[in-house]
Amino acid sequence: MRYYIIAGEASGDLHGSNLVKAIHARDANADIRCWGGDKMEAAGATLVKHYRELAFMGFVEVIMHLRTIMRNMNFCKQDILAYKPDVLVLIDYPGFNLRIAAWAKQQGIKIVYYISPQVWAWKEKRVEQIKRDVDKMLVILPFEVDFYKKWQYPVTYVGHPLIEVVRHEKNDVPAKPISDKPMIALLPGSRAQEIKVKLPVMLEMVDRFPSYRFVIAQAPSQPDELYKDLIGSRDVLLVKGNTYNLLKQAQAALVTSGTATLETALFGVPQVVCYKGNPISFWLATKLVNVKYISLVNLIMDKPVVTELIQHDFTPAKLEAELKALLEKTDRRESLLQDYGQLWDKLGASNASANAAEQIVAVAKGN
């Protein structure tokens, strides 16, 4: 069977790569074409477009790159038509993928959406479009089942794909020492624009915690120069393609909101969640987004497990205070680690990639 998969971000590339492997395990003759990254290509998919050409975030940034986005969308449609897939698999990335879904439905292409757009956070009425255009929705967060039930749209919970990834890394992959000093991990995101905004504030902590070695997890799609220009003369390590090894050894972490907050929690690393965006984009988001928290950890647990320093609260002084509390053996640190254990329980132990692949192959074969 022929599978066309679209992922537009680093996390989508990770989960897409495990999905590609799982599809091959269930369909020996699978031919897979994708938009994604190095991991999906290494897993056996033919890479059409790399996610680094697609990653635009924020309202203002999207408008600035609208011509490029439309050019990519038109190319994608032409490529899908030429490939004639048995099923189109969309991984998150809603701004692009929901538009492709609407078009593909009109072409009579079967569509499976793996990792739901966060319609429960904003633009809830997009569920009507999903009901119209998507043949099967595979969700990875437990509360999404009840959310969609409210809209009379049955979805399938397959488990969270990070569970299998982190469990393998923790249990089967030995840690490789990075530094002889205790480490604090800096995870400033994967896009250049967010790194330039958040990393300088994170780096303010280097001189304030001299007994720790600060280590930056470099995004695979970003050049060394981007980080080195921001680091300057500070004694900071830069590791690339080694984030999980870093998290296995870090005493604490400063993390940009997104999938990395959940990864950090599953590795048991106390963290401060950091977010600061374009002022106009942030103002618009406050008017449109309907969630209590910005981190996946807090959303899943439905309480403030990790501290979120957002926009004007993301200052060196507040970051220092929060980091100090996490590094000391306080009730705050112990309570956070206990909540991390409950997070594992909430997400369950199922193999999301295998479950998703089973559903996708069935759709491709017309079952």
Written as one string, the DSSP assignment of 235-249 is --EEEES-HHHHHTT
Beta bridge partners of 196: none
Is 166-347 the same fold as 2-159+350-364? yes
8 A C-beta contact, residue 36 and residue 12: yes
DSSP string of 3-36?
Answer: EEEEE-SHHHHHHHHHHHHHHHHH-TT-EEEEEE
pTM over 0.85: no
* Range in 5-9, 36-40, 65-69, 305-309 the model is least confident about: 65-69
pLDDT attached to residue 190? 83
Of 157, 52, 164, 168, which Cα lies nearest the Cα of 114? 157
Correct CATH for 2-159+350-364 of 3.40.50.920, 3.50.50.60, 3.40.50.2000, 3.40.50.150: 3.40.50.2000
Whether 213 shows a pLDDT value over 70: the answer reads yes
What CA–CA distance (Å, rounded) separates 264 from 248? 9
For residue 367, pLDDT beyond 70: yes
pLDDT tens track for 91-133: 999 989 999 999 999 999 999 999 999 888 777 889 999 999 9
> What pLDDT is attached to residue 267?
97
User: pLDDT > 70: what percent of the chain?
Assistant: 92
What count of Cα atoms within 13 Å lies in the side-chain half-sphere of residue 169?
Answer: 21
| 88 Cβ contact list (under 8 Å, min separation 6) | 4, 6, 80, 100, 101, 104, 109, 110, 111, 112
**Pair 251, 222: CB distance under 8 Å:** no
- What CATH class has 166-347? alpha beta
Long-range contacts of 166-173 (CB under 8 A, 24+ apart): 166/244, 166/263, 166/266, 166/267, 169/244, 169/248, 169/267, 170/248, 170/267, 173/244, 173/245
Domain assignments of the chain as residue spans, ordered by start: 2-159+350-364, 166-347
Residue 15: count of CB within 10 angstroms of its CB: 28
